[in-house]
Amino acid sequence: METAKLSAMIFAIIWGVLIYVRFLGFADLPTAFSDWIVSLDQSPMLTLLLILCAYAVLGMFMDAIGMLLLTLPVVYPAVIALNGGADVGAVDSAFGVSGVGCAIWFGIIVVKMAELCLITPPIGLNCFVVAGVRPECSVQDVFRGCLPFFVADVITIAVLLVMPGIVLWLPSLMGYT
């Protein structure tokens, strides 16, 4: 019975996202947002940093899956457009990666941001799970204990932004970028 309930819940979420993405497509919101982002008179890297800051703020109040499901259909095309499009080469791109490489690079950065948000107060879902499993630890103690991991995640995201070649090293060996 529990498996049936969980499966129904997962399928309801999937169908909801499919309807949401279809609505976004009909409303042409991803294209309008991409055009607006590209037309901004600022550095593409600054725009990307502002998008990541928006993810950090959203992650403080939403769970990671909900945040990604709601934002990626709009933000992903905008980042690809910022880079120069899906068919751009690494030399001509804004972030120094090809179109396919930008998709991989941005996907990894967004997943790292989602992980960072899972240990960020006030929601910090992972911290509440740990505090629930270990009753002798308070939520404040768990958040304090997560501080080194928070710093490490911020440094990791900064390194991934500055050197996208690290993310794309293995795929480049396989001939994907």
Residue tagged 């999937």 (tokens):
14
Structure tokens at 77: 């095309």
Q: Nearest CA to 21 among 82, 83, 76? A: 76
Cis omega before residue 122 (within 30°)? yes
List phi, psi (to 5°) of 9: -65, -45
Residue 177's pLDDT band, with cuts at 50, 70 and 90, is low
Q: What is residue 122's predicted lDDT score, i.e. its pLDDT? A: 83
d(CA 147, CA 114): 16
Write down the pTM of the prediction: 0.83
- Per domain, the residue ranges of the chain are 28-173
Q: Nearest CA to 167 among 91, 90, 92? A: 90
What are the tens digits of pLDDT across the range 81-125?
Answer: 999 988 898 888 889 888 888 999 999 999 999 999 989 888 888
CB-count exposure of residue 51 (10 Å: 0-12, 13-18, 19+) = buried
CB-based contacts of 156, cutoff 8 Å, min separation 6: 112
